[in-house]
Amino acid sequence: MDYICGMTFAPFAQRGELGREAARESLRLMKERTGANLVIFVPGGVQRTPQSEEILFDTEATAADEELKGMIACARELGLRVALKPTVNCANGEWRAYINFFDEDVPCEPKWSRWFDSYTKFQLHYAGIAEECGCEMFIAGCEMVMSERREQEWRRLISDIRQVYHGPVSYNTDKYQEHNVKWWDCVDVISASGYYPIGDWENQLDRIEAVVKKFGKPFFFAEAGCMSVEGSSLVPNDWHMAGRAAPGEQQAWFETMLAACAKRPWIEGVAFWSWGAGLYPEGSALERTDYEIYGKPAEQTVRRYFTQSAGSASGSFRTTTK
């Protein structure tokens, strides 16, 4: 597949957010300023707690279907490829990786069987939109770590998705989990979240390479990023970090990550987290501590890499960090 130069756009957008002119303008600027050739939209489903069985995706917490379809059309007009990644979150703030139930159904207790019924309904709804809109990839969820051992349910889900959507299907596992997923053979593309410490990229890529070779599937990072806060390059997965703004440290992490990936021809792209539907004033960028790269030095790093890599079979990158 063509090398993925991607950005995640407005993840978990709420009702009305994607329908604004500001969102369309932000998407245009995303492509113009980063050189991205693919955008990932992340419609959000919500369950009350990690042990709730019902996933809702028709409330004010989720963008309306027509808004999403409108943004897909806008992306197409801009020349972007589109991937959909429907992702569930917990309303109580606990991370989706902790969604978990007893391995065997127990009376009067929440059950995997009911949860997967609801999750399948959620995924198939958006698989239908991906098929209708001609999306180039469907990613069947993200970082569902505790559920990944339920191999048969995941295999059944991927099979059900293929009855609705006829393009490439992937799944986005979490960092450090690539080797734990046993059912990579049933997807077309392996994808993962690349939030590794700045000094550990070579070690982690060695580990992931063994998985990619074992299953013989294309691989890309469907998420990757680092906050622009002091210390984040050492724990880029910690979105709770607080402290002084450090845009230079964020850029150094991007430089290191991309230089490491460029040496691995089996890595077929990366999609960074994230780009907002409503942009902050560019003049305030260097004071911010979030994952976004708009107006920060990391934006230039991403653009340079994407410009060098777009259309190629693999990336090429020369680091400029001293």
Cross-strand pairs, 40: 8, 83
pLDDT tens for each residue of 2-39 = 899 999 999 999 999 999 999 999 999 999 999 999 99
pLDDT tens for each residue of 143-201 = 999 999 999 999 999 999 999 999 999 999 999 999 999 999 999 999 999 999 999 99
Give residue 310's pLDDT: 75
- Residue 124: how many CB atoms within 10 A of its CB? 17
Mean pLDDT of 194-216: 98
Q: For residue 207, how far is the Cα from the chain centroid?
A: 20
**Fold observed for domain 4-309:** TIM Barrel (3.20.20)
Enter the pTM of the model.
0.96
pLDDT tens for each residue of 76-128 = 999 999 999 999 999 999 999 999 999 999 999 999 999 999 999 999 999 99
Give the phi and the psi of residue 47 in degrees, each rounded to 5: -120, 155
